[in-house]
Structure 1
Amino acid sequence: MFHLLKAFLSVYETHNFTKTANSLYLTQPTVSAQIRKLEDHLNVTLFIRNGKQEILPTKEADFLYPRILKIIEEWNDAITHVNTQKSYRENCVLASSQTCGTYLIPKIVPILVKRFPMVNFSFPVMSGEEIVQALEKAKVDFGLIETPERSELVDRYIVTKDELVLAGDPDSDYWLLPETDSPLGFINENYLKSNNLTPNIIRTYNHEMVLALLKHHVGKTIVSKLALEQNLPYQCLDSFGERNLYFLTRKKVVSEKLGQISAFIQEQLSHREMFS
């Protein structure tokens, strides 16, 4: 039965029998037969075959996906514990957005690895939307982001505030404007519109470039105070001055150890001295 469930998960995620066959080292007819067998067992249709390539999940598949995902995770977790016993090392993937990954994760890592020496940690950096999608598919365990992303499969907690400041030369005619689809790009554009400002724009597509330009006294922009070097000038903002930072978990944390890690990270991030 487990091989049928794994085939279902892959087809649901890829919407493609051929991609599933390649990832599971099976033939495409074998995958089709496995899905058909699962549908017969459940007496429901799980996928609509819309042409040769496109596979669309039904509402029954949408209902089953997170539940089967949990079943497979718990089974894999149980097998790993049984096989490794006392030498068992848990894996934990904490994904973060650019700002959180650059300025908060390095402060958390030393205390995390000390507190949980039998855990293998990974810290990928992704966009907030990518992190939510990875959580939904159980590709990561936790997320740390600065945008209020939502999902029915994910719990979201406000863990702290991030102070935003107007950094750079206050008299400059140039405004450093990050990519529109980035969190800081969105904030900067809203600030300019709200204050009816029309400065000369320098488009930037890299956060490190923004900081380097500020360091060389070129322009001004709204950034996280966490990112500023000690000697860079900045002004506090009356509006747009704070944003929430969010810790994300799946609705059900599979293992007891991951639950402990989740609580520990949230507790550490609640301390304001973490930002100093």
Structure 2
Amino acid sequence: MFQWLQTFMSVYEERNFTHAAEKNFISQPTVSLHIQKLEETTGSKLFIRNGRNHIIPTESADLLYIRAKQLDSLWETSLNDIQQLQGNTQVTYKIGASQTIAVYILPLILPKLQEQFPNYHFIVAVANSTAIFNRVETHEYQVGLVESPMVAPMITRTIFAYDSLVLAGNMTSDLWLLREAGSGIRAYNDQFFQQENIVPSQKMEIASNETILSILKQGTGKTLLSNLSTHGLPYQNPPTPIVRPLFQIQNNAFPEDALQIALRELLLTTFS
């Protein structure tokens, strides 16, 4: 059953039976057999073929994927726990952070966290808020730090700080530099446009705060960004102040662990 689920997750992610077979080093007929067995077990169609190679997951597949990722994560956690029982105290722990938090907040927190948990091997992934929500929901990341006020049924959110947003760059420019859809700052940028009745005549979408800042420092374009990242840039406050909460998020299907508690306490004491 576990092998069937591993195959299913690959098919779901690749949207292609051939690619899933290559990824798992098995034949395509074996992939088809695993999916067939799962469909028989669940009594539900999991994929609909759309053209020769592309497939579309059904609603049942969407639900099964989330549960399968949670099981996969629980398996990894169980292996870590068993290794600790045998005297191997090295624990892998994954933290997801959106870009502003990763650049300006985590560097103040991670050394203290490593001090408290010296036997932990931390993996810090930087992504936009939507991606982090998705990976915390599937428990691919044990904890996430995000700037977006998104909600999800399986997610518990705790505010650890507030961040003010400012207008930065060349205010005479018609060019707006925007993060990609799904990022926390993009949601606030779109809200700002609507609130101020702004329809940008020129805009550029860039999935990197660092690249946006580099362009702004050349005197090109303007944007809405965190006041944490305005070093050396001209900026002004928006007509109506914009203050956003910063959240620690975790999957409420899993018991809160000691590191999640310690991380929250460090964030609160450092930034409150």
List aligned pairs for 1:72-83, cutoff 5 A: 72-83=72-83
Q: Match of 2:45, SS?
A: coil
Mapped contact 1:174–1:199 kept (Cα < 8 A): no
RMSD across aligned C-alpha pairs, in angstroms?
A: 3.5
**Displacement after TM superposition at 1:4 (Å):** 1.7
Q: CA deviation at 1:161?
A: 0.9
**SS of match in other structure, 1:114:** helix
Q: Which residue of 2 aligns with 1:52?
A: 52
Correspondence for 1:144: 145
- For residues 47 and 197 of structure 2, the distance between their equivalents in structure 1, rounded to whole angstroms, comes to 51
- 1:122 Cα deviation from its structure 2 partner: 1.6
Cα distance per residue 1:175-225 (max 9 Å; x no partner): 773226365456456546645689998969564466567768888754322
For residues 10 and 117 of structure 1, what CA distance do their matches in structure 2 show? 34
Distance 1:204 1:36 in 2: 42
Whole-Å separation in 1 of the counterparts to 2:3 and 2:214: 52
Asked if the contact 2:179/2:209 (under 8 Å) is kept, the reply is no
Where in structure 2 are there 5+ consecutive unaligned residues? none
Are residue 274 (structure 1) and residue 242 (structure 2) matched? no
Q: What is the count of residue pairs matched by the alignment? A: 268
Indicate how the Cα distance of structure 1 residues 27 and 242 shifts in structure 2: closer, same or farther if over 3 A, else same.
Answer: same
1:15/1:152 CA distance change after superposition, 3 Å: farther
**Cα distance between partner residues in 1 of 2:115 and 2:158:** 24
- Report the counterpart of residue 132 of structure 1 in structure 2: 133
CA distance, structure 1, for counterparts of residue 184 and residue 130 of structure 2: 11
The one-letter code of the counterpart of 2:225 is V
Q: Aligned residue for 2:261?
A: 263
Moved more, 105-114 or 172-181: 172-181
Structure 1 match to 2:117: 116
TM-aligned CA distance change 1:86 to 1:213, over 3 Å: same
Q: In the alignment, what sits opposite 1:227?
A: 229
Q: Structure 1 CA distance, aligned partners of 2:63 and 2:77?
A: 23
Given that 2:168 and 2:234 are in contact with CA atoms closer than 8 Å, whether structure 1 keeps it comes out as yes
Question: Does the Cα contact within 8 Å between 1:90 and 1:120 map onto a contact in 2?
Answer: yes
Q: 2:159 is matched with which residue? A: 158
Comparing 110-119 with 7-16, greater Cα deviation is found at 7-16
Q: Do the aligned residues in 1 keep the contact of 2:146 with 2:184 (CA within 8 Å)?
A: no
Counterpart amino acid of 2:230? L
Distance (Å, rounded) in 1 between the aligned partners of 2:155 and 2:116: 25
For the pair 1:89 / 2:90, whether they are aligned, the reply is yes
Gaps of 5+ in 1: none
Q: CA deviation at 1:44?
A: 3.8
Indicate the larger mover: 38-47 or 202-211: 202-211
Q: Structure 1 length normalisation: TM-score?
A: 0.77
Aligned AA (1:159):
F
